[in-house]
Chains A and B, each alone.
Chain A
Amino acid sequence: MSNFNPKPRGKERSDTLTPDMFEKLRREEVRVDEVGRATLTAWQDIWKRLTSNKLAMLGFWIIAALVVCCLVVPLIWPFDHYTTELTNTNQAPNGTHWFGTDELGRDMFERVWKGAQISLFVGVVAALIDLVLGVIYGGIMGYYGGKVDEVMNRFAEILYSIPYLLVVILLLVVMEPSLTTIIVAMSITGWINMAWIVRGQIMQLKNQEYALASKSLGAGAMRIIFRHLVPNAMGPILVTLTLTIPSAIFTEAFLSFLGLGVQSPAASWGTMIDDGVGGIFNYPWRLFFPAIFLSVTIFAFNVFGDGLRDAFDPKLKK
Chain B
Amino acid sequence: MLRYISGKFLFMVLSLFILVTATFMLMNAIPGSPLQSEKATSEAVQKNLEAYYGLDKPLYVQYGKYLANLLQGDMGISMKKKFQSVDKMIAQSFGPSLRLGISAIVTSVVVGCILGILAAMYHRKFIDNLAMIIAVIGLAIPSIVLAPVMQYFLATKLGWFEVAGLNGPLDYVLPTIALASGPIAFIARLLRSTMIEVLNADFIKTAKSKGLAGYVIVAKHALRNSMLPVVTYLGVLTAGIITGSVVVEKIFAIPGIGKHFVTSVIDRDYPLIMGITIFYAVILMISRFLSDIAYVLVDPRMRAGGKVGK
Cross-chain contact of B262 among A158, A161, A259 (Cβ < 8 A): A259
B residues 6-36 near A (Cβ < 8 Å) are: 11-12, 14-15, 18-19, 22-23, 26-27, 29-30
Known contacts A165-B243, A287-B152; is-contact A259 B281 (Cβ 8 Å):
no
| A173 located at the interface, meaning its Cβ lies under 8 Å from any Cβ of chain B in the complex | yes
Q: Is A95 an interface residue (CB 8 A)?
A: no
A247-279 vs B, Cβ < 8 Å mask (1 yes, 0 no): 000100110011110000000001001001100
Q: How many angstroms from the CA of A174 to the CA of B270 in the assembled complex?
A: 11
Q: Mark B223-250, 1 if CB is under 8 A from A, else 0.
A: 0000000000000000100110011001
How many chain-A residues does the 8 Å CB contact rule pick out?
Answer: 39
> CB of A212 within 8 A of chain B?
no
User: A280 contacts the other chain (Cβ, under 8 Å)?
Assistant: yes
Contact with B along A79-123 (1 / 0, CB 8 A): 000000000000000000000000000000000000000000000
Asked whether B208 lies within 8 Å of A1 as measured between CB atoms, the reply is: yes
Residues from chain A with a CB closer than 8 A to the CB of B246 are 165, 258
Contacts of A172 in B (CB 8 A): 265
A253 lies within 8 A of B268 (CB):
no
Return the contact of A173 from the options B200, B243, B265 (Cβ within 8 A): B265
Query: By the criterion CB–CB under 8 Å, are B14 and A254 in contact?
Result: no
A163 at the interface (CB under 8 A from B): yes
Task: Tell me the complex Cα distance, A276–B277, Å.
Answer: 29
Q: Does A162 contact B (CB under 8 A)?
A: yes
Taking a contact as CB atoms closer than 8 A, the residue among A253, A260, A280 that contacts B144 in the complex is A253
For residue B273, CB closer than 8 A to chain A, the reply is yes
Q: Is the CB of A257 within 8 A of B144?
A: yes
Q: Does B96 interact with chain A (Cβ within 8 Å)?
A: no
Is A21's CB within 8 Å of the partner chain B? no
Contact of A280 among B29, B136, B156 (CB under 8 A): B156
Mask for A168-208, Cβ within 8 A of B = 1, else 0? Answer: 01101110000000000000000000000000000000000
Chain A residues 264-318 with CB under 8 Å of chain B are: 270, 273, 276-277, 280-281, 284, 287-288, 291, 294-296, 298-299, 302-303
- A258 lies within 8 A of B149 (CB): no
Residues from chain B with Cβ under 8 Å of A1 in the complex: 199-200, 205, 208
Docked pose: A162 CA to B22 CA in angstroms: 11
Contacts of A165 in B (CB 8 A): 239, 242-243, 246, 280
Query: Whole-angstrom distance between the alpha carbons of A280 and B156 in the complex?
Result: 10
The answer, yes or no, to whether A35 is at the interface (CB within 8 Å) is no
Partner of B285 from A157, A161, A169, A277 at Cβ < 8 Å: A161
In contact, A163 and B280 (Cβ under 8 angstroms): yes
Distance (whole angstroms) from the CB of B152 to the closest CB of chain A: 5
A interface majority secondary structure = helix
Residues of A contacting B149 in the complex (Cβ-Cβ under 8 angstroms): 287-288, 291
Inter-subunit contact A170/B247 (CB<8 Å): no
> What's the least CB distance linking B247 to chain A, in Å?
6
A302 and B265 in contact, given A280-B148, A295-B145 (Cβ under 8 angstroms): no
Give chain B residues whose Cβ lies under 8 Å from the Cβ of A257. 144, 247
Q: Which residues of B contact A164 (CB under 8 A)?
A: 239, 243
Please provide the chain A residues from 212 to 255 with a CB less than 8 Å away from any CB of chain B in the complex: 250, 253-254
Q: Does B141 contact A (CB under 8 A)?
A: yes
Task: Select one of A169, A284, A291 contacting B145, CB under 8 A.
Answer: A291
Beyond A163-B284, A165-B243, A174-B29, whether A270 also contacts B144 by CB under 8 A is: yes
What does the 1/0 interface line of B274-298 toward A look like (CB < 8 Å)?
0001001100110010000000000
Chain B residues, Cβ within 8 Å of A291: 145, 148-149
Give chain A's interface residues, CB within 8 Å of chain B: 1-2, 157-158, 161-166, 169-170, 172-174, 250, 253-254, 257-260, 270, 273, 276-277, 280-281, 284, 287-288, 291, 294-296, 298-299, 302-303
Chain A to chain B contacts (Cβ below 8 Å), 5 pairs: A1-B208, A157-B11, A161-B285, A170-B23, A258-B247
Q: Which 9 A-B pairs have the closest CB atoms?
A: A299-B140, A291-B145, A161-B15, A165-B243, A277-B148, A257-B144, A295-B141, A298-B140, A166-B277
